[in-house]
């Protein structure tokens, strides 16, 4: 598999003999032996009985989270109690942890704040973008294949601001922007197919049309390099429970480009984003900088679990993660092409490296039942209706041997259901 391959939705080649399987096994062993990130796997709570390929939905638990939370609960909350807002740094945690995420999304400090859910942050970002757009703009562009919540939120933002929503394929959003476009909400990676979209080009095209760019990073941050500052992105949101391994329901984050922060007008002005939150003034005066993105009291337990989870990134670069991600997904595609029965499954994930995130999605009849059987046999992925098997590859802890085992079990399952 090379980064010049561009075919998608192609049928796999069919089963092979012992020699080909032995070659794949040797390749997996050699790749694992030479993996610069191999030791990072030890930073996670994992076992060899399960191949976990659902990190694009919920990342694995890191070993540092439990002792950190035990200390937070027993000492910071149990002993210090309210003193921990200052003495344990609870009050500044949203910006402090935001600055830890910032390098993973290509942002300088002071532009990322952590808190609330992805949905809430999408709403804040999109309404604020529309309010900052030039006058006379009446439409919001949204990725036509977006995750449903993004579409729901875009419709709600449009109703609130008197705009209309126009769905456009993500790859065409830049070209579709015009004089009526206030802002566009775009997914960096498609959650169904794993397709990676051109952030720099789309953002530049939106700016050329006078519109603002809001990006959803849920399926890219932590899996590949993101360059928010360099690409001129206006606002961005992302979750932390996928490739950032923050835990179920861990708080999301909001990026507001520094130049736009004085104009960021949140539709959810809460006491935590007030310039003087303890002044308890009846009128709202927004804080300066990233804290404008705050709303209510921070989710301290989940925030500090995320803080501990981010320790796994010590000494790890997003470039190194990207290199392994591409190598892993290349190898998995090679394995499925060699091992799966011909005509029974086909990849809908782009083969071209420039267009691929960190997952492989296969179109397969009876995908729901196939995935249930895979999970029963110790290979955990997920499926999306009606016929997509999704396999998320988290480079921090996924091994090449895991990719091979997943393909072998998948071949057995498909042959058994044929």
Residue with tokens 């360099």: 230
Q: If you write DSSP's letter for every residue of 347-375 in order, what string do you get?
A: E-S-SSGGGB-SEEEEEETTHHHHHHHHH
Are the C-beta atoms of residues 343 and 387 closer than 8 Å to each other? no
Q: What is the pLDDT of residues 33-56, one digit of tens each?
A: 999 999 999 999 999 999 999 999
Residue 20 to residue 170: CA distance in whole angstroms: 39
Residue 212 has pLDDT above 80, yes or no: yes
pLDDT band of 282, cuts 50, 70, 90: very high
Share of the chain above pLDDT 90, in %: 94
Please state the rounded mean pLDDT for residues 117-136. Answer: 98
Are the C-beta atoms of residues 227 and 199 closer than 8 Å to each other? yes
Q: What is the pLDDT of residues 188-200, one digit of tens each?
A: 999 999 999 999 9
End-to-end alpha-carbon separation of the chain, Å? Answer: 27
Are the C-beta atoms of residues 132 and 158 closer than 8 Å to each other? no
Q: Looking at the annotation, which residues are catalytic?
A: 147, 216, 241-242, 390
Q: Helix, strand, or coil here: 52?
A: strand
Q: Which two tokens stand for residue 296?
A: 């209510």
Residue with tokens 């070659």: 23
Please state the rounded mean pLDDT for residues 194-212. Answer: 98
- Measured CA to CA in angstroms, residue 191 lies from 7, 10, 356, 392 at distances of 19, 19, 11, 10
**Per-residue confidence (pLDDT) for residue 10, from 0 to 100:** 41
Are the C-beta atoms of residues 94 and 110 closer than 8 Å to each other? no
Q: What is the pLDDT of residues 384-406, one digit of tens each?
A: 999 999 999 999 999 999 999 99
Q: What is the pLDDT of residues 322-373, one digit of tens each?
A: 999 999 999 999 999 999 998 999 999 999 999 999 999 999 999 999 999 9
Please state the rounded mean pLDDT for residues 84-97. Answer: 98
- Measured CA to CA in angstroms, residue 316 lies from 55, 97, 224, 300, 311 at distances of 18, 17, 12, 26, 10
Between 2 and 345, whose confidence is greater?
Answer: 345
Residue 8 has pLDDT above 50, yes or no: no
The radius of gyration of the chain from alpha carbons, rounded to an integer in Å, stands at: 22
Strand partners, 235: 214, 256
**Per-residue confidence (pLDDT) for residue 234, from 0 to 100:** 98
pLDDT band of 19, cuts 50, 70, 90: confident
**Per-residue confidence (pLDDT) for residue 389, from 0 to 100:** 98
Q: Whose CA is closest to 4, among 335, 350, 324, 336? A: 350
Q: Which two tokens stand for residue 404?
A: 């091979």
Q: Which helix (H) or strand (E) holds 236?
A: strand 235-238
Residue 11 has pLDDT above 60, yes or no: no
Alpha-carbon dihedral angle through residues 203, 220, 217, 93, given to the nearest 10 degrees: -130
Please state the rounded mean pLDDT for residues 272-301. Answer: 96
**Burial grade of 301 (CB within 10 A; 0-12, 13-18, 19 or more):** middle
Residue 137 to residue 354: CA distance in whole angstroms: 32
Strand pairing report for 139-143 and 112-114: unpaired
Residue with tokens 């960096």: 188
Residue 124 to residue 161: CA distance in whole angstroms: 12
**Burial grade of 12 (CB within 10 A; 0-12, 13-18, 19 or more):** buried
- Measured CA to CA in angstroms, residue 138 lies from 19, 65, 122, 144 at distances of 62, 46, 19, 18
Average pLDDT, the chain: 95
Q: What is the pLDDT of residues 147-192, one digit of tens each?
A: 999 999 999 999 999 999 999 999 999 999 999 999 999 999 999 9
Residue 269 has pLDDT above 80, yes or no: yes
**pTM, entire model:** 0.94
pLDDT band of 17, cuts 50, 70, 90: low
**Per-residue confidence (pLDDT) for residue 416, from 0 to 100:** 85
Q: Which helix (H) or strand (E) holds 122?
A: helix 118-132
């Amino acid at each position: 598999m090379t980064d010049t391959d561009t075919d998608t939705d192609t049928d796999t080649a069919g089963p092979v003999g012992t020699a080909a399987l032995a070659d794949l096994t040797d390749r997996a062993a050699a790749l694992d032996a030479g993996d610069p990130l191999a030791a990072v796997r030890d930073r996670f709570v994992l076992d060899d009985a399960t191949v976990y390929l659902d990190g694009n939905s919920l990342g694995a638990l890191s070993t540092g989270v439990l002792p950190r939370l035990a200390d937070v609960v027993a000492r910071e909350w149990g002993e210090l109690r309210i003193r921990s807002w200052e003495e344990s740094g609870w009050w500044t945690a949203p910006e402090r942890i935001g600055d830890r995420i910032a390098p993973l999304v290509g942002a300088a400090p002071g532009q990322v704040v952590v808190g609330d859910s992805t949905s809430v942050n999408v709403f804040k970002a999109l309404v604020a973008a529309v309010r900052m757009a030039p006058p006379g703009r009446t439409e919001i562009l949204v990725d036509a294949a977006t995750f449903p919540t993004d579409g729901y939120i875009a419709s709600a933002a449009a109703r609130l601001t008197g705009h209309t929503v126009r769905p456009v394929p993500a790859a065409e959003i830049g070209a579709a922007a015009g004089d009526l476009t206030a802002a566009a909400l775009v997914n960096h990676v498609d959650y169904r197919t794993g397709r990676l979209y051109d952030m720099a080009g789309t953002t530049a095209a939106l700016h050329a049309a006078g519109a603002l760019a809001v990006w959803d990073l849920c399926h890219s941050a932590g899996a590949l390099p993101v360059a928010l500052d360099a690409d001129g992105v206006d606002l961005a949101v992302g979750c932390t429970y996928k490739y950032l391994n923050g835990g179920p329901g861990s708080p999301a984050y909001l990026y507001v480009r520094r130049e736009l922060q004085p104009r960021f007008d949140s539709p959810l002005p809460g006491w935590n984003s007030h310039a003087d939150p303890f002044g308890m003034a009846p009128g709202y005066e927004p804080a300066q900088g990233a804290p404008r993105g705050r709303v209510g009291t921070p989710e301290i337990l989940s925030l500090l679990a995320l803080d501990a989870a981010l320790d796994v990134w010590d000494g790890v670069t997003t470039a190194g993660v990207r290199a392994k991600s591409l190598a892993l997904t290349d190898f998995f595609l090679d394995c499925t092409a060699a091992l799966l029965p011909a005509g029974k499954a086909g990849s809908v994930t782009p083969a071209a490296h420039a267009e691929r995130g960190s997952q492989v999605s296969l179109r397969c009849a009876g995908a729901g039942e196939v995935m249930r059987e895979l999970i029963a046999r110790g290979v955990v992925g997920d499926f999306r209706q009606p016929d997509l098997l999704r396999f998320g590859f988290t480079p921090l802890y996924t091994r090449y041997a895991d990719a091979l085992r997943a393909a072998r079990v998948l071949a057995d399952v498909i042959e058994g259901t044929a």
